Amino acid sequence: MARSKTSDRWLKEHFDDVWVKKSREDGYRSRASYKLIELDNKDRLFRPGQTVVDLGAAPGGWSQVAIERVGDNGVVVASDILEMSPIAGVAFVQGDFTEQSVLDELLDLLGDRRADVVISDMAPNMSGMAAVDIPNAMGLVELALDMAQQVLKPGGVFVAKVFQGEGFDALLAEMRKSFGTVVSRKPDSSRARSREIYQVCKGFKG
C-alpha cells in the first residue's frame, strides 16, 4: 500500500529529528525521555530512593529516566496496555490499570509504599480530529489523576501530558484542589506544532 504524503512527511521529520537522533546516541527508547529530563531539571521531580509509578510507560523512555534518577534504592513500577521490553530495576505490569486485576497487581508491587511521584505520558491513538482526540486524551489524564490521588503520599508529585482544549479548565481546577502548586510546561523537545503540554503538580494534599 502506498504511503500518503502526510506519512512520508512524518517519517522524514521523525528521522531528521534532533531528539530522535539524540535518543539513539544516548540509548533512550524514545525522544520523550528528553521531555522528562527537562521537566526534572526545571522542577526537581525526582530524588534518590523514591518510589515512582509510570502510567502509559511503553516503550519505556520515561521509565529509563525515572530509574536513573531514583537510583538503586528507588522503585519504579510501570504499566501500559502495550508490551514493554524489560528495563533493569523497573517492575512492569501489562494491562489497563483501570481494570481491577491490573490495578491490584500494581498495588501489590507497591506493597506498603506510597508513591512519591506518578508520571503519565499517555495519549490516545490520534485521529487528527480534535473533537474526538481532545476528549479521549482528557479522559486518560483524568484516569491518571485519579490513580495519583489513590497512591501518592502527602507532598507527592504528579506529572501528566495534557492536550489543550475542551475540558482543560475543569481538569486544572481539579489539579489545583489536590496539589499545592500546578504549573504548565512545554519542553523544548516537544514538537512545536503539538498541542501537548505537561502539567507539573507538586505538594499532594492527601
- In this structure, are residues 89 and 67 in contact, taking their beta carbons and an 8 Å threshold? yes
Average pLDDT over residues 6-26: 62
58 domain residue, yes or no: yes
44 domain residue, yes or no: yes
Annotation-wise, does 80 bind a ligand? yes
Q: What is the pLDDT of residue 128?
A: 76
Annotation-wise, does 60 bind a ligand? yes
CA 59/CA 6 separation, integer angstroms: 24
Kindly report each contact of residues 45-50 with a partner whose C-beta sits within 8 Å and lies 24 or more positions away, as own/partner. 45/69, 45/117, 45/119, 45/157, 45/159, 45/200, 46/70, 46/74, 46/117, 47/116, 48/73, 48/74, 49/73, 49/74, 50/74, 50/75, 50/116, 50/117
Average pLDDT over residues 163-178: 92
Which of 60, 64, 93, 45 has its CA nearest to residue 198?
Answer: 45
130 domain residue, yes or no: yes
Is 49 a residue whose pLDDT tops 60? yes
Counting the structural domains of the chain, the total is 1
Annotation-wise, does 62 bind a ligand? yes
2 domain residue, yes or no: no
Q: What percent of the chain has pLDDT over 70?
A: 89
Side-chain-side CA neighbours of 161 within 13 Å: the count stands at 23
116 domain residue, yes or no: yes
Q: What percent of the chain has pLDDT over 90?
A: 68
Average pLDDT over residues 21-48: 86
- In this structure, are residues 190 and 184 in contact, taking their beta carbons and an 8 Å threshold? no
Q: What is the pLDDT of residues 182-204, one digit of tens each?
A: 999 999 887 777 788 999 999 99
Q: List CB contacts of 35: < 8 A, sequence separation 6 or more.
A: 121, 187, 189, 190, 198
27 domain residue, yes or no: no
Annotation-wise, does 10 bind a ligand? no
Is 4 a residue whose pLDDT tops 80? no
Q: What is the pLDDT of residues 73-98, one digit of tens each?
A: 999 999 999 999 999 999 999 999 98
Q: What is the pLDDT of residue 25?
A: 66
Mean pLDDT of the chain: 89
User: What is the domain-level CATH number for residue 73?
Assistant: 3.40.50.150
Annotation-wise, does 121 bind a ligand? yes
Enclosing domain of residue 57: 35-204
Q: Which of 161, 186, 202, 205 is catalytic?
A: 161
Q: What is the pLDDT of residues 138-164, one digit of tens each?
A: 999 999 999 999 999 999 999 999 988
- In this structure, are residues 204 and 157 in contact, taking their beta carbons and an 8 Å threshold? yes
152 domain residue, yes or no: yes
Q: Is 161 a catalytic residue?
A: yes
